[in-house]
Chains A and B, each alone.
Chain A
């Protein structure tokens, strides 16, 4: 039976990027459908009635929602190529723990960095850097969080790299100055075709953020 894979997505979404990378790592051909989040398609609302959010992965007509759940699904279905999670249960648990940590912290802290100013922004920046430093420590001397090759945590985290320039410009700080090893890791990831073609240009993301700020009346 021919496999039909569709991804409902929104180009700057770091969550959508995770699934794009996972599909690319496995060499899966899929149809990418760009959603207008101010005018969500009937398909999106039908496929994700609970959250009404992107990304939604639709495999042979059946929807999988939530990006990390999609990445695990992709890893399990197309398990014979480029495994993202290791087979050892303890290492798998470690990967899940750190992907969950990224999920709990990065998006919210990053949002506070670009959405706020003054003292609120200063606090957000401080916490954001602390979070990055902890992740940098977890990376250690490994080329990837997954070890020798791109793994689950790398896929969970690298999409936010496309937002770093926007965070830096809005927050007036340098992430590389604080976390050079993390930036080295990020650049290493973007050398991979699956990552390079899944992440948007950082300037484009920054322009998008500026438009968001205007739209929400944030200076």
Chain B
């Protein structure tokens, strides 16, 4: 049986989604914590010379980089508890939403990185993005994947892992029962899933980590 290793960072939602995928499928793996951002290991740089980033999955000595590429690989090698539907059309829809949420992830964190008028714009932008995701992506489904967690759910999972603690640090909440009822229900279902529940980083630790980041951004904008 080929060895599986995952290079990640405890606070990163990008490596977190790979952990969730491996756990959902019951795949044994060795986890290697990278000391980001200034002390990346030689192994990481060797396994991902192009982007030099986590996550990197190494299976039988062969590296795979980019979280969405890794998720599709995991789904193909360990097909039970599938992350993608069998039907080609449904697969294209799942991939569309995984990609959409992925591309909006960093912009959705701008409200945390910015201040004043720029932050206001970022907040409005988030409402638009979440509205699109709720209306067109999730709809009336329990999960993006239907009755079970799918690839787009793992990508959207950043809202519990990163968005929620960012909201706490900034003092602003987006996904509420009255503003986004379906996304609000999704958060509950996703967070309570036995595999997800047991595999989220310590919330207080993330908040503390983010408080330091927020000060860093505040000082950067004051000095610019």
Q: Are A and B bound to each other?
A: yes
What is the bound-complex CA distance between A65 and B100, given in angstroms? 11
What is the bound-complex CA distance between A159 and B50, given in angstroms? 22
A89 near B73 (CB under 8 angstroms)?
A: yes
Residues 63 to 91 of chain B near chain A (Cβ within 8 Å): 64-66, 68-70, 72-73, 76-77, 88-89, 91
Contacts of A42 in B (CB 8 A): none
Most buried by B among A59, A62, A93, A100: A93
Overall SS of chain B's interface? helix
Residues 54 to 89 of chain A near chain B (Cβ within 8 Å): 59, 62, 64-66, 69-70, 72-73, 76-77, 89
**Residue A133, interface by CB 8 Å:** no
B89 near A73 (CB under 8 angstroms)?
A: yes
Interface size for B (C-beta < 8 A) is 23
Q: Given A50-B100, A93-B69, is A73 in contact with B92 using a C-beta cutoff of 8 Å?
A: yes
Closest chain B residue to A98 by CB distance? Answer: B50
Measured as residues with beta carbon below 8 angstroms from the partner, the interface class of chain A is 20 to 34
A97 near B77 (CB under 8 angstroms)?
A: no
Contacts of B89 in A (CB 8 A): 59, 62, 64, 73
What is the bound-complex CA distance between A65 and B89, given in angstroms? 11
**Residue A90, interface by CB 8 Å:** yes
A90 near B92 (CB under 8 angstroms)?
A: no
B59 near A90 (CB under 8 angstroms)?
A: yes
Closest chain A residue to B48 by CB distance? Answer: A97
Closest chain A residue to B74 by CB distance? Answer: A89
B59 near A96 (CB under 8 angstroms)?
A: no
Closest chain A residue to B89 by CB distance? Answer: A62
Where the two chains meet, the residues of B that have a C-beta atom closer than 8 Å to any C-beta of A are 50, 59, 62, 64-66, 68-70, 72-73, 76-77, 88-89, 91-92, 95-96, 99-100, 132, 136
Where the two chains meet, the residues of A that have a C-beta atom closer than 8 Å to any C-beta of B are 49-50, 59, 62, 64-66, 69-70, 72-73, 76-77, 89-90, 92-94, 96-97, 100-101, 134
